[in-house]
Structure 1
Amino acid sequence: MQILMITPRIDEEHDLLGFIVTWVNKLAEKVEKLYIICMGYGKAYLRKNMEVYDLNEKSNKLTKAKYFIKLMFSILPKVDVIFCHMYPEFTLMVAPFAKIFGKPIVTWYAHRHVNWKLLIAHSLANKMITASKEGLRIQSSKVIITGHGIDIERFKPVTNLNVKEKDRIIILSVGRISPIKDYETLIKAADLLVNEEGMRNLEFIIVGGVPMKSHAKYYEKLREMVSELELENYVKFMGFVSFKNITDYYYQSDIFVNLCPTGSADKAVLEAMACGKPVIVCNETYRSLLRPYDNICMFKYKDFKDLAAKLKGLITKKYLWTEMGEHDREQVIKYHSLTHFLDLLVKIFREVSA
């Protein structure tokens, strides 16, 4: 089986999209040939049965369009399935050529928003796949839930002895600096625990860059909050961390917190769970995964007092950390592992190309 995959970027050092390199290498193990068209090509070790074409090599929209059309006529006659990853626009771009050559389209989407581009992509694709039911809010027989594809060999409980002993409990949050991440609720909870409750043995680590210029003001607002609340010694922004180095932060942490509202499953939460860390979330998508610990580790969205209470409660229940971590990892392996995802994906490819 030969596949064309259209994806945003191939770059193992990218903080948000570095996981794609692992995905494509593992997928290439299961197919005869994997062609990839991307919008950026950085550092990556790739298998020999893969060919990568970077549209960003071209200088402007016109030359990119000409290059894309050329690729369509050279690649599509050879492939069995087109796999459009993440952006509905990719499905819209490739659909006319898929029609010409009679090739099925499988589209991946995992986001809480439904817009006109997604609706059109849904009408054009043969199958739509997503990480969870909340990640593709279209009621359709085309939609298949595959899990998030977490590499459980990379994200696993630490077993080496290089993790240093520490005198603080580290509370970690990973994700780009953006209002949807609601970091102000975490900072307010830190203020309540540190300044009002006197819990001086806590450290809050926020890992994530500011990928959009429009969010720079939000980042400055967060830093001002930390300064005004005199939390500089307790809340730390680590900035951009490459995908290949992010596991170091999971290993050093004790508790992982995610503050996003209910929507698609945030990959960072599943990575922390795969590392055997207890997590605290407000996204209802995770409730079934976290049972029977959901009442301990779920708080009300934007409710910093409830978050502080859940953190304090979990900190006082250290005896549960290992048990919860083992449970979390088992859930990721069962429903969201890369092996689980790719087995389903290849099965879907075979069905739509039959």
Structure 2
Amino acid sequence: MFNLAVDQEHVTLAFGLRWIETLSRRYEHIDVVTMTAGAYQLPANVRVWSVGREHGYSELRRALRFYGIVWHIMRERRIDVVFTHMIPIFAVLFWPVARLTGLRNVLWYAHGATPRTLRIAHRLVDRVVSPTPESFRLPSSKVTFIGHGVEGERFRAVARQPGPALRIITVGRTAPSKGLDVLIEALARWRHDGEWRLTVVGGGTSDSEAAYADDLRRLALGTPVAHRIVFTGRKSSEEVAAVLAGADVFVNLSETGSLDKAIVEAMASGCPVISSNDAFGSIARAGGFAQYVIARTPEAVRAALSELAEMSPAARQALADRQSEIAHRSHTLDGLMGRLCGVLDAEAKRGA
């Protein structure tokens, strides 16, 4: 298996450890070759090999280490299939080895962007898996869409108890692509008779995103509703689940193109979602709640929030139940791993 990071402290990639743990219960052994390794605890049948970005190694040195690690693993034990998770460059590097050995390579990709490295990797791998059509935008006969993988046991739907204020939440990286400035501007001019609170959960993964988070706090402080907006910073998956369980509406204004995992976690938790995300739009139109697919404008945000705020508790619960049912049916980790393993096993047989 190839991936970007094996690190339980990574802001966006820590969830990958749960993938590895789940896969380890289905296969005799797994060797993970990663770009960077941090702290982790994994089952005994999993070995982790880093090409050394955490040590500051140059690209050339990392490439040489990649080949050294791969050949060491293959001399030592039998490998049946290769899974490349969100690191197309490793798929490109592995191609000569695949040609020599006959090993089949399955690439997971989940982003709206289609960089040159992805286009090259797509030509060289045997199969592609992705959550939704919006998450893999190259025309391809190789791709299979298998849903997202949120932890269904953790993100369970719970009934909300009505409170004195509408509890709005957004979760994700504090990056410009997430549209948090639009959300704050929308709420600053929202003429709503009732009380409301906004909780912003998440942090930056780079210096530029950390600077953007500071800009957002300054933007909020400059509005007359600053006392209603709370920035919590990054939270663990367990903490996010608890916060979602106490929220009334989830807002996502992402323009990444692919389906944000945070959207699916909110849906699974029974927290009604409104979003401008393209992939959510496809789900909402098929699921009968297309009115909650909105434009990424302050006006559209205010209109959708007003509609949800004025809904009866029964109507809001019905919307929450519908969204949760879709998330648990098509986007849980166990279901995703079952579908992924079906693809991996089929490719292993073809390469045997």
TM-score by length of structure 1 reads 0.90
Runs of 4+ with deviation above 6 angstroms: none
State the Cα distance separating 1:44 from its structure 2 match: 3.3
Does residue 32 of the first structure (1) align with residue 28 of the second (2)?
A: yes
Q: Which residue of 2 aligns with 1:197?
A: 192
Does residue 227 of the first structure (1) align with residue 224 of the second (2)?
A: no
Residues 279-329 of structure 1 deviation map (CA, whole Å, 9 limit, x = unaligned) = 1111232234335552442211x2211111111111111322222222112
State the Cα distance separating 1:59 from its structure 2 match: 5.0
Q: Which residue of 2 aligns with 1:268?
A: 262
Letter of the structure 1 residue corresponding to residue 222 of structure 2: E
Is the 8 Å Cα contact of residues 275 and 292 (structure 2) preserved in structure 1? yes
User: What is the CA–CA distance in structure 1 between the aligned matches of 2:270 and 2:38, rounded to whole Å?
Assistant: 30
Q: Which residue of 2 aligns with 1:46?
A: 42
State the Cα distance separating 1:254 from its structure 2 match: 1.3
Q: Which residue of 1 aligns with 2:118?
A: 118
Does residue 333 of the first structure (1) align with residue 328 of the second (2)?
A: yes
State the Cα distance separating 1:198 from its structure 2 match: 4.5
Q: Which residue of 2 aligns with 1:140?
A: 140
Is the 8 Å Cα contact of residues 203 and 213 (structure 2) preserved in structure 1? no
State the Cα distance separating 1:172 from its structure 2 match: 0.6
| Correspondence for 2:319 among 315, 324, 327 | 324
State the Cα distance separating 1:43 from its structure 2 match: 3.8
Deviates more, 1:19-28 or 1:95-104: 95-104
User: What is the CA–CA distance in structure 2 between the aligned matches of 1:13 and 1:216, rounded to whole Å?
Assistant: 16
| Correspondence for 1:253 among 247, 255, 261 | 247
| Correspondence for 1:16 among 12, 17, 22 | 12
User: What is the CA–CA distance in structure 2 between the aligned matches of 1:316 and 1:168, rounded to whole Å?
Assistant: 12
1:202 aligns to what SS in structure 2?
strand
Residues 190-240 of structure 1 deviation map (CA, whole Å, 9 limit, x = unaligned) = 1122xx3354x1111111112121234433332222122122211121112
Percent identity of paired positions between Structure 1 and Structure 2 = 29
Within 5 Å, give how 1:76-95 maps onto structure 2: 76=74, 78-95=78-95
Q: Which residue of 1 aligns with 2:69?
A: 71
State the Cα distance separating 1:36 from its structure 2 match: 0.8
Letter of the structure 1 residue corresponding to residue 281 of structure 2: R
Residues 240-270 of structure 1 deviation map (CA, whole Å, 9 limit, x = unaligned) = 2233432122122111110013721111000
User: What is the CA–CA distance in structure 1 between the aligned matches of 2:322 and 2:198, rounded to whole Å?
Assistant: 24
Is the 8 Å Cα contact of residues 18 and 244 (structure 1) preserved in structure 2? no
| Correspondence for 2:168 among 167, 171, 174 | 171
Does residue 6 of the first structure (1) align with residue 41 of the second (2)?
A: no
- Long gaps (5+) in structure 1: none
State the Cα distance separating 1:104 from its structure 2 match: 0.9
User: What is the CA–CA distance in structure 1 between the aligned matches of 2:249 and 2:17, rounded to whole Å?
Assistant: 28
Is the 8 Å Cα contact of residues 11 and 42 (structure 1) preserved in structure 2? yes
Is the 8 Å Cα contact of residues 150 and 271 (structure 1) preserved in structure 2? yes
Is the 8 Å Cα contact of residues 276 and 325 (structure 1) preserved in structure 2? yes
State the Cα distance separating 1:53 from its structure 2 match: 1.5
User: What is the CA–CA distance in structure 2 between the aligned matches of 1:59 and 1:13, rounded to whole Å?
Assistant: 18
Residues 91-141 of structure 1 deviation map (CA, whole Å, 9 limit, x = unaligned) = 122222222222111001111111211110000100011110011111111
Q: Which residue of 2 aligns with 1:211?
A: 205
Deviates more, 1:121-130 or 1:73-82: 73-82
State the Cα distance separating 1:158 from its structure 2 match: 4.4
User: What is the CA–CA distance in structure 2 between the aligned matches of 1:262 and 1:178, rounded to whole Å?
Assistant: 10
Distance 1:304 1:336, change over 3 A: same
Question: Aligned pairs, how many?
Answer: 343
User: What is the CA–CA distance in structure 1 between the aligned matches of 2:127 and 2:172, rounded to whole Å?
Assistant: 29
User: What is the CA–CA distance in structure 1 between the aligned matches of 2:270 and 2:210, rounded to whole Å?
Assistant: 33
User: What is the CA–CA distance in structure 2 between the aligned matches of 1:331 and 1:165, rounded to whole Å?
Assistant: 24
1:9 aligns to what SS in structure 2?
strand
- Long gaps (5+) in structure 2: none
Q: Which residue of 2 aligns with 1:280?
A: 274
State the Cα distance separating 1:58 from its structure 2 match: 4.8
Q: Which residue of 1 aligns with 2:109?
A: 109
Distance 1:249 1:43, change over 3 A: farther
1:8 aligns to what SS in structure 2?
strand
Is the 8 Å Cα contact of residues 13 and 244 (structure 1) preserved in structure 2? no
Is the 8 Å Cα contact of residues 134 and 278 (structure 2) preserved in structure 1? no
1:260 aligns to what SS in structure 2?
coil
User: What is the CA–CA distance in structure 2 between the aligned matches of 1:187 and 1:58, rounded to whole Å?
Assistant: 39
Deviates more, 1:63-72 or 1:221-230: 63-72
Deviates more, 1:18-27 or 1:212-221: 212-221
Deviates more, 1:13-22 or 1:216-225: 216-225
> What's the RMSD between the two structures over aligned residues?
2.2
Is the 8 Å Cα contact of residues 130 and 147 (structure 1) preserved in structure 2? yes
